[in-house]
């Protein structure tokens, strides 16, 4: 593994170097061996990863895009329904979204079928007799 090390020299100037070690635990022992007291220590390539994509996987970015598109679609439907659609269209949408068992019968009078039975009233006219 490679690590970028920033440190101060004996005269107080800032300097940078790269140290290559077998594992993360051996970094400080290698720096002590070289006589360096680090000011900052970072794994090589970490700056590039952070600047490039923030370390996020592509799936996380895709999920954020999908969520934003869904929210945008819901907002567009709400604007259409509450602002742009006329009353007939709203009634149609409500009837499509309402289960058929909850639709009330709008016929009234003696010829109307009884509500909730599914029965249909049939009246024989005088001409058919």
CB 105 within 8 A of CB 113: yes
**87, exposed or middle or buried, with CB in 10 Å at 0-12, 13-18, 19+?**
exposed
Q: What is the pLDDT of residue 63?
A: 92
Q: What is the pLDDT of residues 22-48, one digit of tens each?
A: 877 788 888 788 888 888 888 887 555
* Same domain for 11 and 35: yes
Q: What is the pLDDT of residues 44-102, one digit of tens each?
A: 875 555 555 556 788 888 999 999 999 999 999 999 888 888 888 888 888 888 766 55
Supply the range of the domain harboring residue 25. Answer: 2-53
Q: What is the pLDDT of residue 119?
A: 57
pTM beyond 0.85, yes or no = no
From the centroid of its chain, how far is CA 84? 27
29-41 b/e (C-beta count within 10 Å ≥ 16 → b) = eebeeeebebeee
Q: What is the pLDDT of residue 92?
A: 84
Q: What is the pLDDT of residue 38?
A: 81
Average pLDDT, the chain: 76
In a domain, 119, yes or no: no
In a domain, 20, yes or no: yes
Residue 60 has, within 13 A of its CA and on its CB side, a CA count of 5
* Same domain for 8 and 44: yes
Check whether 110 has a pLDDT greater than 70: no
- What's the domain count of the chain? 2
């Amino acid at each position: 593994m490679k690590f970028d090390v920033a440190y101060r020299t004996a005269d107080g100037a800032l300097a940078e170097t790269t140290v290559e070690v077998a594992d993360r635990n051996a970094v400080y022992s290698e720096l002590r061996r070289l006589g360096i007291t680090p000011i900052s220590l970072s794994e090589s390539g970490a700056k590039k990863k952070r600047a490039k994509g923030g370390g996020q996987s592509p799936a996380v970015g895709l999920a954020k895009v999908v969520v934003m598109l869904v929210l945008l679609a819901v907002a567009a439907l709400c604007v259409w329904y509450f602002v742009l659609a006329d009353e007939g269209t709203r009634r149609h949408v409500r009837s499509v979204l309402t289960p058929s068992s909850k639709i009330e019968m709008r016929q009234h009078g003696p010829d109307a079928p009884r509500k909730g039975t599914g029965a249909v009233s049939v009246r024989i006219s005088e001409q058919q007799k």
